[in-house]
Amino acid sequence: MRSPRLTGWWTALLVLAAVRVAIPVAAYAASPDRLPGLPRFTRAPLDGGLTGDSTAFYAASREFMAGWGRVPKPLLGLAVLALAAGAVLGVRAWRRHPERRAWIVAAAVWAVALVLCLDIHWLYANGAAGFGWPLLWGSVLLPYRVVATLGKHAAWNAAFGLSLAFVALTVVAVAYLGRYASNRRSVGLLAAAFWAAWPLLVGAIAGHGAWTNSQWNVDVGLNAYDEPLSTLLVTGGAALLLSPRLTDLRLVCGGCLLGLATATKISNALAATVALVVVAWRGGRRETLPYLAGALSFAPVALLYWPKSYPTLVAGNRSTLRSTLGVGHVVSSWTDSSIFYPRTLAIVAPLAVVGAFWLLRPWAVGLVVALLLANPVFYSFYKYTAEHPRFLYASLPELFVLWAAAVTGIVGAARGRWAAPV
């Protein structure tokens, strides 16, 4: 496969990324007025724009920053010295042993994750459902907090900028996911185009009910939630695992992205698990071990943080815990959904089914379809899925890859030009 040219592949991706970013920017600039065909966005003045779960993520971000001050100084100093020494040794090993670079990256990520566990041990419970988003948000806010008083307005501004970067990078990740899954650039670009246009399409497909409960704002990055980051990490990890020249370094990096995705949203552990199955199917032990080295790197972070996150909101209420997950929610999760109710599924599913047959390579179909279904299957049993269809957003890139494969395959077949990928 030839390398993409700047004047072709990358120019198209830059245009699509600009379109995806322009949608929330235009909605924000028009606030409190409404743009034609889009929901009205109003930034909450009292909380700087933070609403709903974003207040918990903000609290977790502040706790991430404050936690370092509670770590005993000798222990923190020892951890910093160990990281510095490890960095020096890692740079030397990187230069002298190119064949070991995948394991050097894995060791570096493990070291950073273990140091983060120090901070997590000393931070207070806050109710944020995952640590990945507060980690990145707090890391950006930390320099600002050093030189100025940190308030919710400044925090929302930083979150909005990060979210725009996430959705723009997801355009690139979706394009590579489609390209690597099908071995065709046209599929990658069309999938990225579907992703870029989705905020404009969802109202037409699902109706204006798709805008309720701020689900549209979450999707485009206006609400400082973790969905944009979660979607980027899952899609980027999957794209790396589908690389045609799959090296140990790409396996480790793909695993690290899915590991961080799990620390961001614990349900992404299912995506990491199905990816493990496909990796083992494709390459056996040789590919499985590098992937696991990356995927498990953030496991200590996710496991140590989880007891301080969402479970603290329902601590001691066993009836609430038992009623949250159950078979009784399977039907209502779809019939009562504001976006993915039966009519929407009837529109989006048939083309995806056709696309699965056009990808042709079994392991590529396996990964794309498994990641597409992982979230819907898990969240079918969750009590609040109908109210919060945003839980399924991380599966949209795979849906668009299948759409693109179907459209490209049908058009190619009509012209007599479609051939099996090599």
Compute mean pLDDT per 10 residues along the chain, 422 residues long, and list them. Answer: 64 96 93 81 81 91 94 95 94 93 96 96 89 95 84 92 97 96 93 96 89 91 94 97 92 97 95 94 89 96 90 59 79 92 94 87 90 94 91 95 93 68 40
Q: How far apart are CA 130 and CA 135, in angstroms?
A: 9
Q: How far apart are CA 401 and CA 372, in angstroms?
A: 10
- For residue 156, give the nearest of 170, 177, 178, 140 by alpha carbon: 140
| In a domain? residue 141 | yes
**pLDDT for res 144:** 86
| In a domain? residue 91 | yes
Q: How far apart are CA 366 and CA 363, in angstroms?
A: 5
What is residue 336's DSSP assignment? T
**pLDDT for res 4:** 46
Which amino acid is residue 406, in one-letter code? A
Q: How far apart are CA 332 and CA 347, in angstroms?
A: 19
| In a domain? residue 356 | no
**pLDDT for res 269:** 96
- Write the pLDDT tens digit of every residue in 84-122: 999 999 999 999 999 999 999 999 999 999 999 999 999
Structural domain boundaries, residue 126: 51-319
Q: Which residue has the tokens 């049993």?
A: 381
Residue 109: HSE in the Cβ half-sphere, 13 Å Cα cutoff: 27
Residue 421: HSE in the Cβ half-sphere, 13 Å Cα cutoff: 24
Q: How far apart are CA 211 and CA 404, in angstroms?
A: 25
Assign residue 123 a region: left if phi > 0, alpha if psi is -120 to 50, beta otherwise? Answer: beta
**pLDDT for res 315:** 56
**3-class secondary structure, 244:** coil
| In a domain? residue 82 | yes
| In a domain? residue 344 | no
| In a domain? residue 156 | yes
| In a domain? residue 100 | yes
Q: What pTM was computed for the model?
A: 0.93
**pLDDT for res 417:** 59
**pLDDT for res 421:** 43
The CA-atom distances, in angstroms, between 49 and each of 20, 131, 216, 226, 384 are 21, 21, 15, 15, 23
8 A C-beta contact, residue 205 and residue 344: yes
8 A C-beta contact, residue 234 and residue 174: no
Sequence-distant contacts of 9-14: CB under 8 A, at least 24 apart? 9/175, 9/185, 9/189, 12/189, 12/192, 13/171, 13/172, 13/175, 13/189, 13/192
8 A C-beta contact, residue 338 and residue 206: yes
**pLDDT for res 422:** 36
| In a domain? residue 16 | no
Burial of 111 (0-12, 13-18, 19+ CB in 10 A): middle
Q: Domain tally for the chain?
A: 1
8 A C-beta contact, residue 137 and residue 269: no
**pLDDT for res 30:** 87
Q: Which residue has the tokens 């355009």?
A: 171
**Packing angle of the helix pair 73-96, 101-122 (nearest 10 deg):** 170
- Residue 130 backbone dihedrals phi, psi, to 5 degrees: -150, 165
Return the exposure string of 299-309: e unless at least 16 CB atoms fall within 10 Å of the residue's CB, then b: bbbbebbbebb
- For residue 57, give the nearest of 268, 298, 229, 208 by alpha carbon: 229
